[in-house]
């Protein structure tokens, strides 16, 4: 089974730990890339680690958590082949997978509750990409050769 890389900054640590527990409880292997303490850290460093795991082919999906999810999504999306989306509910999770083939779920620890985040993550991981008409659109976003 492929491990799911997961990381957060200091603001996202409590939600990251809750999501990690939920994933492990469902039988997933989790690669916890930090942070591991409440000390202040820079979120782009952790977004880069998760993005690198995906672009290296180590995992199909990743998870990032910060205060709002926005900083992590911006930082992750700077990496070729990454399509990170901030999720607030399971509808967004389903549509971003089905239509955008998103590969990193970003959550805001200050903007979403634990149960809602768990539900959204479960839907994100289980929703297939629809392809078809969406392929043309993604080709306009992804650089040539991106996964």
- Between CA 62 and CA 116 the distance in angstroms is 18
Cα 48 from Cα 55, distance rounded (Å) = 10
| Rounded Cα distance, 5 and 21, in Å | 13
Find, among 82, 80, 89, 77, the residue nearest to 122 by Cα.
89
The strand ranges marked E within 56-135 are 62-66, 84-86, 104-108
Q: How far is CA 98 from the centre of its chain?
A: 15
DSSP 128: P
Catalytic residue, chosen from 10, 28, 88, 99, is: 99
99 is catalytic: yes
125 Rama sector, left if φ>0, alpha if ψ -120 to 50, beta otherwise: alpha
Q: Which residue's structure tokens are 């492990």?
A: 24
Write down the catalytic residue from 66, 88, 106, 134: 66
Catalytic residues: 66, 99
């Amino acid at each position: 089974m492929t491990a799911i890389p997961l990381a957060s900054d200091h603001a996202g640590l409590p939600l990251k730990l809750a999501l990690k527990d939920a994933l492990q409880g469902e039988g997933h292997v989790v690669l916890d890339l930090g942070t591991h303490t409440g000390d202040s850290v820079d979120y782009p460093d952790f977004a880069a680690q998760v993005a690198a795991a995906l672009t290296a082919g180590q995992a199909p999906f990743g998870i990032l958590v910060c205060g709002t999810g926005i900083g992590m999504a911006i930082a992750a999306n700077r990496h070729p082949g990454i399509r990170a989306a901030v999720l607030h509910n399971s509808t967004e999770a389903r549509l971003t997978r089905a239509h955008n083939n998103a590969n990193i779920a970003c959550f805001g620890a200050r903007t979403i509750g634990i149960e809602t985040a768990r539900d959204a993550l479960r839907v994100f991981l289980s929703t297939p990409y629809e392809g078809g008409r969406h392929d043309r659109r993604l080709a306009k976003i992804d650089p040539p050769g991106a996964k």
